Amino acid sequence: MQVKIQNVYQVTRDMGRSLGFYRDLLGMKMKFQDGEKWAQLDAQGARFALASPEEAGAAAASATVIVFEVDDLAAARKALESAGAPILATRDMGSHGSTVTSRDPDGNVIQFFAKAAK
């Protein structure tokens, strides 16, 4: 069996606040929105969505960590800090790359990864 990520979603208690973070701060493009229930975004070809707790299946969802690949990790960290998002950890993985770990407005852990320069 072969699998790929079809979609990743975060449960949010405040759709507007979360859209402000993911769409406006991180620059994801809106694909469609179903009121306060669901918002589908495009993260450069990857599917990412926000779901209300009332959306089917979302009430049972637990924490999810999403790793977003970026070209400029320092710029991503600066944008997070400017928005008041906490920096929880950083990690240098040598020739593989580096990460910055933070939280979104609902407290979900998210990571940003940049490949090491060659």
Per residue in 3-45, pLDDT (tens digit) is: 567 778 888 889 999 999 999 999 999 999 999 989 999 998 8
| Dihedral sign for Cα atoms in the order 38, 13, 84, 20 | positive
Full set of structural domains in the chain with CATH:
1-59 (3.10.180.10), 63-118 (3.10.180.10)
In this prediction the pTM is: 0.70
Other beta carbons within 10 angstroms of residue 4's beta carbon come to 4
Phi, psi of 113 (to 5 degrees): -125, 140
Q: What is the pLDDT of residue 59?
A: 53
**Who's near 101: CB < 8 A, 6+ residues apart?**
87, 88, 89, 90, 91, 109, 110, 111, 112
Residue type, position 54, single letter:
E
**pLDDT 10s digits, 61-105:** 555 778 788 899 999 999 999 999 999 989 898 998 998 989 889
